[in-house]
Amino acid sequence: MNDLELIETKQVEKHLRAMEETVEKRIKTREELLKNNEDVREKTIIHTGRILHIDGDKKYSEKSNIYYKKVGLNAIVKNIPERKQPVFVGSLVRKYRPEILVITGHDGMIKKGKNFTDIYNYRNSSYFIKAVEEARKNNTRDDLVIFAGACQSYYEGIMMAGANFASSPARILIDFMDPIIVAEKIAVTDEKRFVTIKDIENELRDGQRGVSGTGRKWKEKVIDYIRKQLCNKTETKM
């Protein structure tokens, strides 16, 4: 408890405002992209990858859920404290059968700049590692794409546990949107492409210093080329 810092109310409010602005800016960008691809969407049924997002922070969980819904992604968001994530992740994966799993929350190094490979020098990295291991028990890297980690997380340990993408290689603070951007990119990329961190890094606040990984194949599937009328009916139901 001795190394915890008190944060002034004004700082918290400033941070929340910045978070709101980031979400709204990303939503507008996504809406413009969808608008530009409207002609293609009218002729196809597109199934994006199913996302299960587990976050240790209640506020971030709520913002993530809002974002997913506004951009039309198929996502389930659960607010679960980091220490309990390894306990619940297995049953949640079996229940929702996601194609993309995000495990995140809060983390940090206790002794900054030292003992990078000591799991006890991280606040919550051990929980992220255990959660990834649990999720991987009955799911290969082809079946389930996993992003795990938070600010200053033990990147190498999380990747060794079975994640496709993780934070934080440079042990820096990541943006709260970074895990969402990775999940979104995988979910909406065309089925013929293999997504690598090179495809995503320019959209991340700090590029590969904050998030990296081995990459993964597409999760978006264009099901059928159909008449415009049928597509309109499908979109109306959604």
**pLDDT score recorded for residue 48:** 80
Q: What is the pLDDT of residues 33-50, one digit of tens each?
A: 656 655 544 444 456 889
| CATH 3.40.630.10 corresponds to the domain 9-30+44-237 | no
Q: Per the confidence metrics, is the pTM higher than 0.75?
A: yes
Task: State the sign of the Cα–Cα–Cα–Cα dihedral 174, 124, 79, 236.
Answer: positive
Separation CA 30–CA 203 (nearest Å)? 12
Q: What is the pLDDT of residues 116-150, one digit of tens each?
A: 999 999 999 999 999 999 999 989 887 899 999 99
As a whole-number percent, the residues of the chain with pLDDT over 70 amount to 70
Q: Map out the domains of the chain as residue ranges.
A: 9-30+44-237
Mean pLDDT of 224-238: 40
Report how far apart the first and last C-alpha atoms of the chain are (Å, whole number).
48
**pLDDT score recorded for residue 16:** 57
